[in-house]
Amino acid sequence: MDILYPVALPALNGNEKDYVLDCLDSTWISSNGSYIHKFEQGFAEFCQTKHAMACSNGTTALHLALLAHGVEEGDEVIIPTFTFVATANAVTYCKATPVFVDSEPDTWNLCPQHIEAKITPRTKGIIAVHLYGHPADMDPIMDIARRHGLFVIEDAAEAVGAQYKNRMVGSLGHTAIFSLFGNKIITTGEGGMITTNDDSVANKIRLLKGQGMDPNRRYWYPVIGYNYRMTNIQAAIGCAQLEMAEWHIGQRIQSARHYIENLQDCTAITLPVEKIWAKNVYWMFSAVFHEFTEEQRDEVMHGLRRMGIETRPFFYPMHTLPPYKNLQAADEFPVANRICAQGINLPSYAGLTANDIEHISSCLKKVLYEVSSEERR
């Protein structure tokens, strides 16, 4: 059956086309142009930070942030094991070692209580991931970092617009990164953004992302840099998306409320939380089938696929992936092991109606019943 409800779709219902055409008319289509500065300035204002630097994607944003904080060979960086692989890969690009921490059972984010046990003399910093749109518990993470002289990078790739104690994600750590991929809450197709209040970090990032060229001496390269720039066309799309950021965020929250209303009576499902101190922007509407095995979870996904509903599993924990599985023992991460085997992401994009979500929820309940009944036979 054809997919009627994909997991993600970009919403391009603002000034995207007008701004892109303006770029084409101006001929400024590469990594210079007025939209780049406008987008960076607007993003900094949105996140309530001093600086925002656009780059080519969220992974390069992570790499640049780590480099700007001086991460190098022999260092260790603490990250959650339950995250997208880019978080670990960016640490590895710096020839450093990612050190994994288990998840909180309710938010699924990095558990602050497990961090200090992982700190060694080689530890340089912490990456706190705001997973699936819910902010990590930043105050205890920042307290630990202060006591041990560590930096904190927020991996807010999935959480634009989320808030922690009425503060915007992106303004909570020393530096933060965002992904602007096509399935994110706001998008530039491919793209990333880095925010910080630290002038020195911002200057290093601007230097490194443009091949390391001295800003005051053209074609002079005092350091080895990277071509991690965003194009003016991408920034034009970003400007249009940013103008409607509150609408995009509101659509995700509204969809999540419809899902919760339709699924709250289903005892087989653990629904996403929103802590009293948090604003969850529900990049994905994610749920855990708490009595199911991974195989049963997959059966549910296949059943929904036959009904035209696309789903995605949760990310595999980093400690289970071939490049990283020998770094730490799998039994250190009972929460991540469980939720990643039982988790599912449902269609989550602007434009889903209440009727759409009622239909998806009804199909999910039907398939859950069928899989449960088959198991009892």
With H, G, I as helix, E, B as strand and everything else as coil, classify residue 151: strand
CA distance 35 to 23: 8
- Please indicate, yes or no, whether residues 264 and 209 belong to a single structural domain of this protein: no
Instruction: Quote the number of domains for the chain.
Output: 2
Tokens of 161: 């617009």
With a cut of 80, say whether residue 375 has pLDDT above it: no
The residues assigned a catalytic role are 184
Strands (DSSP E) contained in 113-258 are: 123-129, 151-155, 163-164, 167-168, 175-179, 192-196
List pLDDT tens digits, range 31-90: 899 999 999 999 999 999 999 999 999 999 999 999 999 999 999 999 999 999 999 999
- 221 with 305, same domain? no
- The token pair that represents 152 in the structure block: 């904190």
Reported as a pLDDT band with limits 50, 70 and 90, residue 372 is: confident
What residues form DSSP beta bridges with 153?
127, 175
187 and 54, same structural domain?
yes
Contact 173, 154 (CB under 8 A): yes
Statement to judge: residues 165 and 260 lie in one domain: no
Is residue 2 very low, low, confident or very high in pLDDT (cuts 50, 70, 90)?
confident
Question: Is the pLDDT score of 135 beyond 60?
Answer: yes
C-alpha 38: how far from chain center = 23
Do 250 and 220 share a domain, yes or no? no
215: exposed, middle or buried (C-beta count within 10 Å: 0-12, 13-18, 19+)?
exposed
* 9 is a domain residue: no
Within 13 Å of residue 112, how many CA atoms lie on the same side as its CB? 14
Residue 29 lies in domain: 16-100+109-243
pLDDT at residue 1 in the model: 66
Same domain for 216 and 132? yes
pLDDT-derived band at 373, boundaries 50, 70, 90? confident
pLDDT of 121 higher than 70: yes
Give pLDDT tens digits for 242-262. 999 999 999 999 999 999 999
Q: Are residues 189 and 233 in the same domain?
A: yes
User: Among 189, 224, 243, where does a domain finish?
Assistant: 243
Rg of the chain (C-alpha set): 21
Burial class (CB within 10 angstroms; exposed 0-12, middle 13-18, buried 19+) of 19: buried
Domain boundary pick from 243, 276, 308: 243
CATH number, domain of 178, equals 3.40.640.10
| Residue 165 sits in the same domain as residue 211 | yes
Mean pLDDT of the chain: 96
pLDDT > 60? residue 154 = yes
Residue 178 lies in a domain: yes
367 and 304 share a domain? Answer: yes
Last residue of a domain, one of 224, 243, 262: 243
Q: Is 9 exposed, middle or buried, given 0-12, 13-18 or 19+ CB atoms closer than 10 A? A: middle
Q: Which residues partner with 54 through β-bridges? A: 193
Asked if pLDDT for residue 377 goes beyond 60, the answer is: no
How many CB atoms neighbour CB 17 within 10 A?
13
Same domain, 198 and 308: no
Lowest mean pLDDT among 25-29, 247-251, 263-267, 369-373: 369-373
The residues pairing with 270 across neighbouring beta strands, listed in sequence order, are 288
